[in-house]
Amino acid sequence: MTTFHPSHIRNIAITGHAGSGKTMLAEALAYTMGATNRMGSIEEGTTISDHAPDEIAKKHSVNSSLIHGTWRDHKINIIDTPGFNDFYGDVKSAIRVSDTVLMTINAALGVEVGTDLIWEYTQSMYKPTGFVITKLDAERASYEKTLNELKEHFGLGVIPIQFPTEEGLGHHIFIDVLLMKQFEFSPDKAGSMKVSEIPEKYLERAKAYHHELIESVAETDEELMNKYFEDGTLSEDDLRSGIKHALVSRTLFPVFCTSPLHLIGVERLLNVFVNIFPNPIERGPEHALDASSKKDVLVEPDPESATVAFIFKTVSEPHIGEISYFRVYSGHVESGHELVDAQTGQLEKLGQVYTMLGHEKIPVEKLLGGDIGVVVKLKDSHTNDTLADKGVKHIINPIEFPEPVIEIAIKPLAQGDEEKISSGLYHLHEEDPSFAIKHESEFNQIVLSGLGETHIETVIRRLKEKFSVEVEVAPIKIPYRETIHKTAQAQGKFKRQSGGRGQYGDVWMRIEPRDRGEGIDFDSEVVGGVVPTRYIPAVQKGVEETIEKGVLAGYPVVDVKAVVYDGSHHPVDSSEYAFKIAASMGFKSAFEKANPTLLEPIYTLRILTPDQHTGAIVGEISSRRGKIQGMDTEKRFQVLNCLLPLSELHNLYNAFNRLTQGRARYSYKFSHYEEVPFELREKIVEEAKEAKVESA
């Protein structure tokens, strides 16, 4: 395969809300470029992008997929991304290594939830962004309504480059206001594009959009502005270079038209990729950190420089191993190349280097700076790692994956599978860093955190398919804590006589409440040797073991001071064991007298919701014993800062989706512990007693 210079490479992430036409657009682009000899079908499970079994079964993308082709002597790398929020880790990684983001907008549905979220990703990563309105041949398609929504959501920098002459069934013609030409396509026929003059009936509208485009481009560049004032217009070449400059500076967001299912507008879009979208050099250098100096450095996409490559995605495949997707930011990558993982210092000798066409690996001799490819079976380098020539310690800034929003606990179906689960989850996490794994030692639970129920279900399914281990979902146990309200004291006396030497221990314990967060304290006020000094450590151990096991409901005790202040002993029968038991008895008795209570973990929530859903969100939070701490405005969203008990976070994700049609988002983190309401406390204590009886 030909090696492409960075100036002849385009890296484009196709993103958008679920069902907006991303996969079919990627399919149509690949077919038009001649990368495949037939148009695949989502319904039949034959598209290049959606090749995994779960994608074919569900008929939607679960993973990002790399496709490449050539157009007019340029290599076009396309990353087709998932549309469901549950898989937006792949979306962020695709945007991270792209030079332009193309967002698909369904002409029948307009700006949807995913559009807003992806826009925020493009903002945070400062990526050139364009929109392509798809499905203009569908019923209820409305170009004008969709365009107005885009301007309303994303500002006046949204500028149409094309508009359709008709919409709905039979759509196959649009006007291009950059070239001021009409484009006509024969549905389902690649290479059928015909260019002609704009008919009189569409000329005024075309001129209005053309003028809007000229003014918008001129406003982004002082030189073009002066030229516009002098000549009263801008040439076609001026507009092309101006749009490209404005894309890179994120001051203009062009809007295009396609109906990819029938190949309408696809050929013209490929020309746009070559003529208007920036190449890696025009996009500019990549930011990195020099591991030695800890200073920021810029990595230029120069094929003659030292090699710096970044792994943005890892896929684990049975019988193959890990496949690492990387972008070359500088220098070149070739088979047999020895590179060093800049984070770990691990030497990696690359095997065969490939570029991808969906799941098909195509061997290549070399990839230059700016290009994207894959390599198989790296020793110990994974997603977010930087590979570089020896002596080069540039670390590309890592991808910041979305924060998980739901948690579930899992347990093995078969005994002894714990190690297989741990190993499988480790490999799956390397493949998808947007889910998290933690082991809750208090309850011996494995807890998975993810971006949604479908995300977690996918992880569990992959665990079974790839590692032959099955798990079942278990309720997450809440780490309640026990404490007291007042000071109390009690005697603990352990006396046992069994014919020979007996057991005798006797202590008086006093327990006192401490301020929240002060922890546990133990002290001795024993005088006169009534409890010999050698037994005090045993008394402390008895108290500590009781504190760990709890008294009320089996949860650890917190924020209590325990004092042994009196007691008695037997010169023959006393022992460390007897005093440990006596201390436990005394602590429990005092605890029950000290007005004990339960504490529950409270989390802070930061919720972003469109204004029209604020009331519903507030009501839902209140119904879950939550407290609204404050409200603010952030762009088009209301921001609610709340406190909510951990036990009430269960199913919050589903509730918000139901109330807001998926438009609300939230993040959460632990804040503090608060007292459990009386009625709930009694229920928890009763359930704990019943569970203890059942397990006895």
Domains of the chain and CATH, by start = 6-283 (3.40.50.300), 286-396 (2.40.30.10), 406-474 (3.30.70.870), 481-594 (3.30.230.10), 598-679 (3.30.70.240)
Rg of the chain (C-alpha set) = 32
Would you place residue 17 in the very low, low, confident or very high pLDDT band (cuts 50, 70, 90)? Answer: very high
C-alpha 684/C-alpha 676 separation (Å) is: 10
| pLDDT above 90: percentage of residues in the chain | 75
Tokens of 507: 């202590």
User: 696 pLDDT exceeds 60?
Assistant: no
Q: Tokens 């679960």 label which residue?
A: 62
Q: Tokens 């549309």 label which residue?
A: 83
User: 215 pLDDT exceeds 90?
Assistant: yes
- Contact between 664 and 613 under an 8 Å Cβ cutoff? The reply is yes
Phi–psi pair at 373, nearest 5 degrees:
-160, -170
Q: What is the mean pLDDT of residues 74-100?
A: 94
| pLDDT above 70: percentage of residues in the chain | 98
Pairing between β-strand 100-106 and β-strand 637-645 as defined by DSSP bridges: unpaired
Q: Look up the pTM and report it.
A: 0.87
pLDDT at 538: 97
- Cα–chain center distance at 253: 25
| CA-wise closest residue to 428 among 483, 471, 375 | 471
Phi–psi pair at 139, nearest 5 degrees:
-65, 150
User: 318 pLDDT exceeds 80?
Assistant: no
SS3 11: strand
pLDDT at 181: 97
Tokens of 555: 């949860």
Q: Tokens 């206001």 label which residue?
A: 177
| Residue 184 CB neighbours (<10 A) | 14
Q: 601: which strand partners?
A: 673
C-alpha 166/C-alpha 147 separation (Å) is: 15
DSSP state, residue 430: H
pLDDT, tens only, 129-188: 999 999 998 889 999 999 999 999 999 999 999 999 999 888 899 999 999 999 999 988
- Contact between 324 and 382 under an 8 Å Cβ cutoff? The reply is yes
Q: What is the mean pLDDT of residues 247-258?
A: 97
Would you place residue 194 in the very low, low, confident or very high pLDDT band (cuts 50, 70, 90)? Answer: very high
DSSP state, residue 47: -
- Contact between 77 and 70 under an 8 Å Cβ cutoff? The reply is no
Q: Tokens 């029948």 label which residue?
A: 108
Would you place residue 692 in the very low, low, confident or very high pLDDT band (cuts 50, 70, 90)? Answer: confident
DSSP for 281-346, written as a single string = HHH-PEEEEETTT--EEEE---TTS--EEEEEEEEEETTTEEEEEEEEEESEEETT-EEEETTT--
Contacts of residue 148, defined as CB under 8 A and 6 or more positions apart, other chains included, come to none
pLDDT, tens only, 334-370: 999 999 999 999 999 999 999 999 989 999 999 999 9
C-alpha 578/C-alpha 511 separation (Å) is: 20
Tokens of 121: 């990703």
Q: Whats the size of the chain, residue-wise? A: 696
C-alpha 599/C-alpha 272 separation (Å) is: 61
Contacts of residue 200, defined as CB under 8 A and 6 or more positions apart, other chains included, come to none
User: 489 pLDDT exceeds 80?
Assistant: yes
C-alpha 500/C-alpha 223 separation (Å) is: 105
- Contact between 171 and 141 under an 8 Å Cβ cutoff? The reply is yes
pLDDT, tens only, 539-588: 999 999 999 999 999 999 999 999 999 999 999 899 999 999 999 999 99
- List of E strands, 350-441: 353-357, 360-364, 366-368, 372-376, 386-388, 394-396, 406-412, 436-440
Tokens of 361: 């690996």
Torsion of CA 3, 6, 10, 11, to 10 degrees: 90
Burial (Cβ within 10 Å: 0-12, 13-18, ≥19) of residue 145: middle
Q: 511: which strand partners?
A: 488, 562
